[in-house]
Amino acid sequence: MEYLRFVRANGRFLGFGLLAVALSGFGQTYFISLFGGEIRAAFDLGHGAFGGVYSAATLASGVLLLWAGQQLDRLDLRLVAALVVVGVAAGSLLMAAAGGVLALAAAMFLLRFAGQGLMTHMAFTSMGRYFEAGRGKAVSIAGMGMPLGEALLPAAAVSVTAVLGWRGAWTAAAVFLVGVALPLLLGLLRGHGARRRELSARESAHPEREGDGRGQWTRAEVLRDPRFYLLLPAVLAAPLIATALFFHQVHLADAKGWALSWLASSFPAFAATHVLGLLVSGPLVDRVGARRLLPVFLLPMAAGLAVLAAFDQAAVAPVYLALMGASMGATGTLLGALWPELYGVAHLGAIRAVVQSAMVLSTAIAPAAAGLLIDWGLPMEALALLLDLYIAGAITLVLVALRLRPAGAHAGS
């Protein structure tokens, strides 16, 4: 009932956030990796080389995101939405037409930069900035776009590829983005000018209400705060781990003796718990705050990795994915709510650009590193245990950060 009232009051803008996050799927690993076999065959690439090209493109997008992400603090959201969608569509067309490895890398760069990077940055920054009391619910609702995309886009891609081929599927994606998705996003932003004016008035009247009660932090001040660096490994953990495993999901199925169709059919378990994690974490964030959830939100993922390492039975696939999904859902909410809770909203685009860039960089390194370990003969079970050790270290750093007092900010901006 709490969610229903909130959606009725803010449905159009929440719909914008949800749709934008869903559309980021065209640049996410789970979508691009579906074409991994065809791409490797077309360009004669091994697992490590394919992961290397993908990682290089993602690294470049992460660096550029540091600059581009802060433009959300200056530019009208409607203009940003149009530019981002056109960027993803351009990447899709280039993927369809790529004749060599350089063109492939450029296509992957556009897809990762505009899709994985800017599309999600735009959505979550907007939800965190324009909602205050219901920020947790707003971010969790927008975050449902991720499992929505995960549930719909792979099946659509497989169906279209069966008819048009893999290059035709990317062409169809570009047509859909420009012809359907862009008009929908702009329609959902109707009346956004009034929302911007309301936010400006609120910030002017109460500059001290956010940012740990110390006003609106600038990006430079955040980068001098030790808590930021201690929290970052935990914030990055879920997307990093999911990218490492999902990018090599074909190899995982082979190593475990699972049919790829069975692993693919197990992803609804991931989507279901992803949604559940979002739904549960949203009101919790509104009640107790994002920082109090930080020590526990990765525990389901840690359990999923332990299950993956310990068992080979086919029934493990949906269990492992369900546990992963729960942490991914909570991560979506925490990523949108934590930074405005700690640092305010005036410079949220610039602050989240650093976080988003770090996330992009980490997800760039993960597939290549995992690919090299696989090529060197590391079993998937050992990889899962290594990732569990990473989670344990990240939680330890969170506990240290929560004991520190904020430092480096002033009482206004």
- pLDDT tens for residues 117-172? 899 999 999 998 888 778 888 988 998 898 889 888 988 998 999 999 999 999 99
Q: In this structure, are residues 88 and 110 in contact, taking their beta carbons and an 8 Å threshold?
A: yes
Confidence at 233, pLDDT banded by 50, 70, 90: very high
Q: What share of the chain is helix, strand, coil (3-state, %, to 5)?
A: 85, 0, 15
- CA atoms of 113 and 94, how far apart (whole Å): 14
Which DSSP string do the residues of 114-130 spell out, in sequence order? Answer: IIIIIIHHHHHHHHHHH
Confidence at 412, pLDDT banded by 50, 70, 90: very low
Number of helices and strands in the chain (H, E): 20, 0
Give mean pLDDT, residues 43-71.
Answer: 87
Q: In this structure, are residues 270 and 325 in contact, taking their beta carbons and an 8 Å threshold?
A: yes
Mean pLDDT of the chain, nearest integer: 89
> 12-401 in CATH: which number?
1.20.1250.20
Confidence at 320, pLDDT banded by 50, 70, 90: very high
The pLDDT assigned to 201 comes to 66
Give mean pLDDT, residues 97-120.
Answer: 94
Which pair of tokens denotes residue 410? Answer: 């002033």
- Closest alpha carbon to 178 in 303, 53, 56, 83: 83
Q: What percent of the chain has pLDDT over 90?
A: 51
Confidence at 115, pLDDT banded by 50, 70, 90: very high
Query: Domain ranges in the chain?
Result: 12-401
Render pLDDT for 273-295 as a digit per residue (tens, 0 to 9): 988 998 899 888 888 888 889 99
Render pLDDT for 176-218 as a digit per residue (tens, 0 to 9): 999 999 999 999 999 887 777 777 666 665 555 555 556 689 8
Q: What percent of the chain has pLDDT over 70?
A: 94
- Closest alpha carbon to 308 in 390, 386, 385, 393: 385
Distance of alpha carbon 250 from the chain centroid = 21
The pLDDT assigned to 119 comes to 96
Q: What are phi and psi of 299, to 5 degrees?
A: -65, -40
Does residue 413 register a pLDDT over 50?
A: no
- CA atoms of 2 and 17, how far apart (whole Å): 19
The pLDDT assigned to 411 comes to 42
133 versus 22: the higher-pLDDT residue is: 22
- Closest alpha carbon to 332 in 405, 269, 277: 277
Give mean pLDDT, residues 307-330.
Answer: 95
The pLDDT assigned to 164 comes to 96
Q: What is the pTM of this model?
A: 0.80
The pLDDT assigned to 133 comes to 76
Give the residue carrying structure tokens 């590829």: 161
- CA atoms of 332 and 144, how far apart (whole Å): 9
Does residue 50 register a pLDDT over 90?
A: no
- CA atoms of 363 and 305, how far apart (whole Å): 18
Q: In this structure, are residues 247 and 39 in contact, taking their beta carbons and an 8 Å threshold?
A: no
Give mean pLDDT, residues 56-63.
Answer: 88
Which DSSP string do the residues of 93-113 spell out, in sequence order? Answer: HHHHH--SHHHHHHHHHHIII
Give mean pLDDT, residues 291-316.
Answer: 94
The pLDDT assigned to 212 comes to 57
